[in-house]
Amino acid sequence: MAEQQGSSTVGTHLEAMIAKLRELNAVRSERVADAFRAVPRHVFAPNNPLAEVYSPRDPVITKRDANGVAISSVSAPEIQAFMLEQASIEPGMRVLEIGSGGFNAALASELVGESGHVTSIDIDDEVTARAAAMLKSAGFDHNVDVVCADATSWLPDDGSWDRIIVTVGAWDIPPLWTERLAANGRLVVPLRLRGITRSLALIPDNGHLAATSAEVCGFVQMQGRDAHEERLFLLQGKDIGLRFDDDNTPADMTALDGVLATERAVEWTDVTTRAGESFDSLELYLAARLPHFCLLTVAPGAGEQLVGHDEHRFRLAHVAGDSFAYLVSRRRADGLFAFGASAFGSNARVAAAQMVDQIEAWNALRPGKVDPAITVWPRPDSASELPEGHVIHKHHRNVVLSWT
């Protein structure tokens, strides 16, 4: 076992991880690759096997709540890498990290160098104590402070930050974060839009924020003042449900009572994807375009009635009156996968057709124009200021997704 922790073994895991992070386009610069080389990740996850600690796409879970839900972790290297690339941290900068695990703050410490400074803030004093101790034992306490507070309502009274990196899933952007962002600063935040999370790199632009990039990611959820619960409507015991995350829940969800006892309808399109090809942009497109967009959740082993034997089911769904539809695909004879919509309810064909229309409209944007421009505006808003697009209302912000 001692041999497993030897520096050559660590070095082998580390270089394999960095090579994979480059292949995934998560590490894009030498500076970020070098930061991963300079910070010993295993020191921040001391009780885990090296293969897990250096696994490029896996977080190390460090704390769960009473229901077993992860509430704190050292995030997956892939996500840490692309968020640091999104943040574009330069030597001498002041960086605020929201959500502490120690390791990511140490990476930021490397990137800001001796003349810069990192503050890491977490709502949980067990997490801050752990992060501070590990930063100290890894030798990164000289330019990193760790503070315990709810970062949605309080930040150290310490001037502004050049970069704010939020490493916990946010549903909204509190005013405080933009008030304390330097005029030419950058806020990197995993923001939930109708249940779909994207890590946005946001820059201030004449009273609003404009996203310069959006990356697919998943995070533990924000706690504290701005915690936001999704609304889950169960359709069959606890096995099958629909989750709504914003203000687009239909007024009468009881209209769907017994909906799974109706006959399933399926509408197919000629819109195809190759095996392994990403269609992430379809998620945001459907989320914005279908008024009652939601996510289908199915317990493992349940939901046989939701798919035919040759079909795959996805979580993207929407409700239309007393019916709901969700995205499916099936392999065609030419090897491509065709998208379709499967639906239940007395108006199942209508619900399916509405989804199919949007899949076809998304396809008409391919290739090239599938990613929306994303802007974030303060509320209360003057509606006339908002650009053309689909508006998602939060408490503090309006998020506008525009396809041109």
Ligand X SMILES: C[S@@+](CC[C@H](N)C(=O)[O-])C[C@H]1O[C@@H](n2cnc3c(N)ncnc32)[C@H](O)[C@@H]1O
Q: Which residues bind ligand X (CB under 6 A)?
A: 71-75, 80, 97-104, 121-124, 127, 150-152, 167-168, 219-220, 222-224
- The answer to whether 40 and 138 have CB atoms below 8 angstroms apart is yes
Residue type, 395: H
Residue 149, burial from CB neighbour count under 10 angstroms (0-12, 13-18, 19+): middle
Shortest distance (Å) from residue 121 CB to ligand X: 5
From residue 188, alpha-carbon distances to 71, 110, 244 in Å are 20, 18, 24
Which three-class secondary structure string do you get for 344-374? ECCCHHHHHHHHHHHHHHHHHCCCCCCCCEE
Q: Which residues are catalytic?
A: 75
If the CB atoms of residues 103 and 344 are measured against ligand X, the closer one turns out to be 103
Residue 213 neighbours by CB under 8 Å, 6+ apart: 86, 200, 201
What backbone phi and psi angles, to 5 degrees, belong to 361?
Answer: -65, -40
Q: Which of 329, 267, 259, 317 is nearest to 292 (CA)?
A: 317
In angstroms, what is the minimal distance from the CB of 250 to ligand X? Answer: 30
b/e code 311-350 from CB counts within 10 Å (16+ = b): bebbbbbbbbebbbbbbbbbeeeeeebbbbbbbbbebbbe
Closest distance of CB 347 from ligand X, Å? 40
63: tokens are 């704390």
Residue 139: name the closest of 110, 116, 96 by CA: 110
**Tokens (6 digits) for 203:** 């820059």
Angle at which helix 7-23 crosses helix 77-87, to 10 degrees, equals: 60
Whole-number minimum distance, CB 166 to ligand X, in Å? 9
Cα–Cα distance, 296 to 315 (Å, whole number): 5
Tokens (6 digits) for 332: 């065609």
Q: Which residue is nearest to ligand X (CB)?
A: 101
Distance between CA atoms of residues 219 and 225, nearest Å: 18
Following DSSP, what letter does each residue of 57-73 receive, concatenated? T--EEEEE-TTS-EEEE
Is 251 buried (19+), middle (13-18) or exposed (0-12) by CB count in 10 A?
exposed
- Report the length, in residues, of the chain: 404
Q: DSSP assignment of 266-322, as one string?
A: EEEEEEEE-TT---HHHHHHHHHHSTTEEEEEE-TT--GGGS-TTEEEEEEEEEETT
